Amino acid sequence: MVEGDVAAANADPAIRAIEAAHALAFHSGLGSSLFAPSHNSLTTEDVKSFAKTAFTKGNIAVLGTGIDQALLTQLVEKSLTGAAAAASAGTTSSATSYFGGETRIEAHEGPQTVFIGFGSTGAPSAELGALAAHLSPQPSVKWSKGLSYIATVLPEGTSVQSVYLPYTDGTLVGLLVQGTNAANLKEAGKVAVQALKTVSTPSGITADELKKAIAKAKFNAASVVESRDGLVSAVGSKVPPYILTSFHD
């Protein structure tokens, strides 16, 4: 299963671009890949040993949906019976730092892809959520064309997706640009850069655009928690430094 996930990720230019963006932005910690390398010396016993020190009563938060609180408490107590009371010193991590940079990765499959954006440290901010919503060319109504600057000037054969990834003490935000060839990717990239430059100026966004961006950001935040993975992700970013697990009916 792990090998399949790694193979699928390596074949997806969008995933590779976001992974590279994390590595450039944060280096260690948030910059570490979610996927295992092709060749790894870790054994099953290594994983079990780490789990014993990391999954402890002192650093696990539990989220339950559609389940009675008393039953959830009973299940949690039963599950953590054999867990250690506190995590070992080796499982602690340092605060996130932002570095940034530029890199190029050779790819032989899928559309040509580039990520243009930046990272920040500290708790996720509503401002960055609104910025990502404002930049997004995705239309509010299905089967219609977006009304944002990006949507109206994108060349044919290209796409731009707004990226907003908030974590406990860091955030990655920007635009994922894809095109069928180098020429149209370059043009779409120019559009993305111009959009980012425009919003960084004092007059780059009108009061009406800001109002719409805030409303869209609120809608996006509400939509995220409608799914199991989205709910875990949203809550997980607010309960540092815990490992978040979940119970469902």
pTM: 0.82
User: How many structural domains does the chain have?
Assistant: 1
**Does 13 sit behind a cis peptide bond, omega within 30 degrees of 0 on the bond before it?**
no
Are the C-beta atoms of 242 and 60 separated by less than 8 Å?
yes
| pLDDT < 50 regions, the chain | 244, 249
Alpha-carbon span 135 to 118, nearest angstrom: 14
Determine, yes or no, domain membership for 16: no
Q: What are phi and psi of 202, to 5 degrees?
A: -55, -35
Domain-located, residue 1: no
User: Cβ distance 5 to 35 under 8 Å?
Assistant: yes
Write the pLDDT tens digit of every residue in 97-112: 999 999 999 887 889 9
Whether 84 is in a domain gets the answer no
Nearest to 232 by CA among 34, 92, 64, 69: 64
Closest CA to 192 of 172, 176, 208: 176
pLDDT at 162: 96
- The pLDDT score that the predictor gives to residue 73 is 87
Task: Render 227-245 in DSSP notation, one character per residue.
Answer: SHHHHHHHHHTTSTTPEEE
* Residue 50 main-chain phi, psi, to 5 deg: -65, -40
pLDDT value at position 245?
Answer: 52
Nearest to residue 23, comparing CAs of 92, 94, 115? 115
| Residue 186 included in any domain | yes
pLDDT of residue 56: 81
Q: Does residue 36 lie in a domain region?
A: no
- Tens digits of per-residue pLDDT, 52-86? 887 887 777 787 877 888 998 898 888 888 777 76
CATH of the domain at 128: 3.30.830.10
**Does the residue 56 lie in any domain?**
no
Q: Measured between alpha carbons, how far is 113 from 107 in angstroms, rounded to an integer?
A: 9
Question: Would you say residue 225 lies in a domain?
Answer: yes
Cα-only R_g, the chain: 21
**Domain membership of residue 159 as a residue range:** 95-100+107-233
Sign of CA dihedral 230, 220, 126, 135: positive
pLDDT at residue 240 in the model: 52
Q: What is the DSSP string of 178-204?
A: EESSHHHHHHHHHHHHHHHHHHTSTTS
**How is the chain split among helix, strand and coil, in percent rounded to 5?**
45, 15, 40
8 A C-beta contact, residue 12 and residue 4: no
Q: What is the structure's pLDDT at 100?
A: 94
